[in-house]
Structure 1
């Protein structure tokens, strides 16, 4: 393979990588805290029809499970852990969210 072809391939890769990074940085991030039977905020507002990241932090002392049957998503987090779920898009509406390990912990995710 010629040096010119290698340089062209490397340049194309760099451009694609930069474009992917720019898109990732532009993605809205919505933060949720889960703490021993409480989900904060209790109404989670997210953009509808837009890719976004839901960042979940377990600030409590026991494991939690962020779950939504409506959205078909779940994420288990040990105490002190932060993780994220990336949603490609969701339709406008209201979705129930709960902590499967703490049945009293409930919230509503509202896509606008």
Structure 2
């Protein structure tokens, strides 16, 4: 017959293992949200308008094809994201009310301009 200490040790070890197993499960991510690709090339956003459904979460996947860094910056969306030259970055957004939300490339404001339109 097993001693109570041995059984208690097994329970503690099992609880510890179960806790680690739960930590290995990734939390729910924005992967469930639709992804819209935005390219930075020649210090311009392509496309310069992204249409999204109002009231839904979404992700903008920013691909910087320039050699220099750029910052996706929007006061209206309350987001800033620096994307290194040749790099990619995600901007998680929404849900948004219907409307137009401008954004800029803060490092090249005169050419890098765009907007998100929620319908």
TM-score (norm. length: structure 1): 0.76
- TM-superposed deviation, 1:14: 7.5
Coordinate RMSD, CA, aligned: 2.6
Quick one: distance in 1 between partners of 2:78 and 2:34? 20
Is residue 107 of structure 2 the alignment partner of residue 104 of structure 1?
no
- Structure number with the higher strand fraction is 1
Q: Which runs of 5+ in 1 are unaligned?
A: none
Q: How many residues align?
A: 110
Quick one: distance in 2 between partners of 1:89 and 1:3? 46
Structure 2 residue aligned with 1:67? 73
TM-score (norm. length: structure 2): 0.72
Q: Which runs of 5+ in 2 are unaligned?
A: 1-7
Q: Choose 1 or 2 for highest CA Rg.
A: 2
Partner-residue secondary structure (3-state), 1:104? coil
Which aligned runs of 4 or more in structure 1 are off by greater than 2 angstroms?
Answer: 1-8, 23-26
